Amino acid sequence: MGNKRRQLIFLISSFTCIICVSSSGVETDTLAAGQELKDAESGYLISAGGTFRLGFFSPGSSNNRYLGMWYNQPQPADRKAVWVANRDNPLFDKSGILTIDEVGSLKVSHGGGSPFVLSSPARTAGNVSATLLDSGNFILRELSSDGSTKRILWQSFDYPTDTLLPGMKLGINLKTGHNWSLSSWISDAVPATGSFTLGVDRSGASQWIISWKGKPYWTSGLWRNRDKHFDLAPELSNESDHHFSYTENEEERYFSFSTNKNHSMSGYSITSSGEILERSKAAPFWSCGLYRSNNLATGCIQPTAHKCSTHFVQQYKHSKASFKGKFKFGEYSNLSLYDCNANCSSDCSCVAFAYDDRTASCDVWSRGLSTKRHPIFYKETTQLYFMLADNSSELDNSIFLVVSLVLALGFPLTMFLLIVKELIRSKVDETEVEMLLNELGANGRNKEGKTNRALQFFSLETIAHATNNFAATNKLGEGGFGPVYKGKLHSGQQIAVKRLSSSSGQGLKELKNEALLIAKLQHTNLVRLEGCCLEKEEKMLIYEYMPNKSLDFFLFDAERKNVLDWKKRYNIIEGVGQGLLYLHKYSRLKVIHRDLKASNILLDDDMNPKISDFGLAKIFGRHDSEANTERIVGTYGYMSPEYAMDGIYSTRSDMFSFGVLLLEIITGRKNNSFHSLSGPLSLVAYAWEAWNEGRALELIDPSLGESYPKDEVMRCIHVSLLCGQDNPVDRPTILDALSMMYSEGNQLPRAKPPAYYFSRSRDEPEIVECELQIFSPNNLSITEMEAR
């Protein structure tokens, strides 16, 4: 009878809670096991006293979704989240669902991948529920048979983000080693873990410590328990309605504070610039600033001096200024404004930087300043800063002297270098090979002295045996680098061998760049580099073998394309997008591929895509992301207009190629397959006209029949048109593009006319077209390599 009663209570509570967390507006503070809090239904929990609200939200102007908690206030200014569950794992659409699974884990599942688990399995057979308390603590608890709390399994107070709430601990659990600390947001629109951390002194002193990237930045001074204040921050603890306390025993030591009951909203937050704010205050308690050598604020710790520390930052007053010309350009991701400032200030070559709060990105310039508008670099919302020096006149004189000396000595020095070059020409190849082997790690260590196990070195004998002495029957194809052969090692592993042709214009530097680049990139949607072979005159790269060849092998063949149903095509689109997202944002190196096309998308046994051929890729290593080149390399038809015409390449030029690839996958047609005398001359232009005339469904490959979700396909076409826009600033990032494809029902921005599109009336005379001749025997593009 008791078990039946408990089941009945559970069913009633479950039914009640489902109603409460729906969009009907009824409020509840508890989520029971097996129930769901859905973002798509605007679900939320509200604490019993109405103080806090928990649900999904998008901070600032961001489109990313997070599960968080904020004060339940009507004013937007009072609704900044005080706790974020998935701060480093944003969702890209409204598919998020908070639930308690069958083993008692509290987790966020979504349509874009693996669930984000907040708590470990409870390992209990009892009833489990999650409740939002009026203190702002979100707890997962096991319930007794009478509905009371048996034990707390997990609580948000143990995992704070950037805000210390009344009753929350700031300190260390000496028994478990768990650390209660705060970490700043990167910006107001990006709640990801920032570079500032607020915690207690790990040496045992009773004081607060702020660290910047692990280095001491500020200290509160010792806590005086008798007077209830910090030595160096008395104003922090002298709030009339705030009462600080410090607890230290064998198990833990921590600070906490409480408030008067009439103080309904309170909390201390650490900002992205390292300041501590009280939520009801408009100003910080103190500000250390970037350079503090002459006038240190109380508690600020003297930083390590930089040789450029005389520079200071001044916001540029003309918000429409931008930068153009030949200059070194860099982009940093996931940085706060303070981090961007610090990076530029510590680099003597940095003359200006721009910061975008929405994307937490920092653009850095070292020369070539201009106040003219430029479509590549101009951002309406970006704040621009110049780096100025106190000794600017002395610096100008020094530069003048250096330039004069270079001009005076330049000609004889050049002649001398030419003579030396001629004398040692015969030894250059041997030296370069030896240096390359050392740098790649053939001697077991790279140039930094670290062991390099990521790259294997194969002997010429091994590769020759694997490819049957490079037999013609093993040849898979040929590109600008040289022929590619299928091989099989003694272990039975199948490989693809890219062999540098003797007639190729590419050499050791290009091979080194590609080898080092791919060896450092690890992603399921990037082709894996197994190793290389440098012996005698041979230079080869060895890759994993992809049995289903490349995407164009299936996509553009009338018979083979039938194996590509929409599910497979969408999986390929998603996989390429994820690989590109890794290259542009999440890899250790920021990489511009520069030759993204169907023939460079390889397919494994399960038709999963892998981006290949990084011979033209540009490595930026977070210091460069957009640049100029006088040598245009790549494949026409996939190249963005700013790259094909002006040599300017960036992540947005890759996005243009991604848009073309999207249309090819949807239509099953090549971008250059149009030879009409009166119609558009590219797939992108044709798609643009069909979209605007309401004929978008005509674009879909007839081989798909009717077995495809029309809304999903239409979103992909829409995204492809956004990627193909003429102005690179208008094109979405790969993160935005993927979010748009996943966002069902959301209004997407209207696409502008694509690149290379020239509208003309039907009454205009027809233009006779000369069909482009293809000189490659296997229809592959012929590309040049440019050393990075």
Read off the CATH number of the domain in which 365 is found: 3.50.4
pLDDT of residue 727 exceeding 80, the answer is yes
> 79 or 231, which is more confident?
231
Residue 211 CA to residue 671 CA, distance in Å, equals: 53
Residue 646 bears catalytic tag:
no
Out of 29, 162, 595, 613, pick the active-site residue.
595
Is pLDDT of 546 > 50?
A: yes
Q: Are residues 333 and 298 in the same domain?
A: no
What is the pLDDT of the chain when averaged over all its residues? 75
Q: What is the CATH number of the domain that holds 112?
A: 2.90.10.10
Tell me which of 493, 522, 544 is where a domain ends: 544
Task: Kindly state the average pLDDT of the residues 686-693.
Answer: 90
- pLDDT tens by residue, 510-531: 677 677 777 777 889 998 888 8
Give the C-alpha separation, 597 to 560, whole Å.
Answer: 18
Q: Residue 742 pLDDT > 90, yes or no? A: no
Question: Does 219 have pLDDT greater than 50?
Answer: yes
Sign of CA dihedral 188, 193, 194, 196: positive
Residue 47 domain boundaries:
1-159
My answer on whether 45 and 143 are in the same domain is yes
Q: Is 98's pLDDT higher than 80?
A: yes
Identify the domain boundary among 159, 178, 203: 159
Residue 446, both tokens = 């790279």
Asked which of 489, 516, 544 is the last residue of a domain, the reply is 544
- pLDDT, tens digit, 9 for 90 and up, residues 398-418: 444 444 444 455 545 555 555
pLDDT of 488 = 92
Cβ pair 348, 308 in contact under 8 A: yes
Are 480 and 565 in a shared domain?
A: no
pLDDT at 712: 92
pLDDT at 668: 92
How many alpha carbons fall within 13 Å on the CB side of residue 235? Answer: 10
State residue 624's pLDDT score. 52
Residue predicted with more confidence, 743 or 332: 743
User: How far is it, in rounded angstroms, from Cα 198 to Cα 552?
Assistant: 53
Could you tell me if residue 748 is inside a domain?
A: no
Does one domain contain both 211 and 62? no
The predicted model gives 630-641 an average pLDDT of 68
Same domain, 291 and 315: no
DSSP per-residue string spanning 410-477? HHHHHHHHHHHHHHTHHHHHHHHHHHHHHHHTTTSB-TTS-B--SSEE--HHHHHHHTTTT-GGGEEE
In 479-631 the beta strands, taken as DSSP E runs, fall at 483-488, 494-499, 529-535, 538-544, 591-592, 601-603, 609-611, 618-619, 627-628
User: Is the predicted pLDDT of residue 695 greater than 80, yes or no?
Assistant: yes
Question: Residue 761 domain-assigned?
Answer: no
Residues 35, 65, single domain; the answer is: yes
CB contact set of 784 (below 8 Å; sequence gap of 6+): 480, 505, 631, 633
Q: Which is more confident, 234 or 582?
A: 582
Q: Are residues 271 and 333 in the same domain?
A: no
* Distance of alpha carbon 742 from alpha carbon 716, whole angstroms: 9
Q: Residue 165 pLDDT more than 90?
A: yes
Token match 């542009």: residue? Answer: 584
The total domain count for the chain is: 6
Picking from 560-564, 660-664, 671-675, 708-712, which range would have the lowest pLDDT averaged per residue?
A: 671-675
CA angle centred on 58, ends 52 and 62, rounded to 5°: 150
pLDDT band at 73 (very low <50, low <70, confident <90, very high): confident
Average pLDDT over residues 531-535: 83
CA 479 vs CA 303, 335, 409, 485, 510: distances in Å:
53, 39, 44, 12, 14
699: CATH: 1.10.510.10
Domain match, 274 and 174 both: yes
Residue 777 lies in a domain: no
Q: What pLDDT, on a 0 to 100 scale, did the predictor assign at position 124?
A: 62
Same domain, 316 and 276: no
Q: Does residue 575 share a domain with residue 488?
A: no
Please tell me the distance from the alpha carbon of residue 190 to that of residue 64, in angstroms, as a whole number. 9
| 575 and 686 fall within a common domain | yes
Q: Per-residue pLDDT for 396 more than 50?
A: no
568 and 679 in a single domain? The answer is yes
Most confident of 5-14, 452-461, 596-605: 596-605
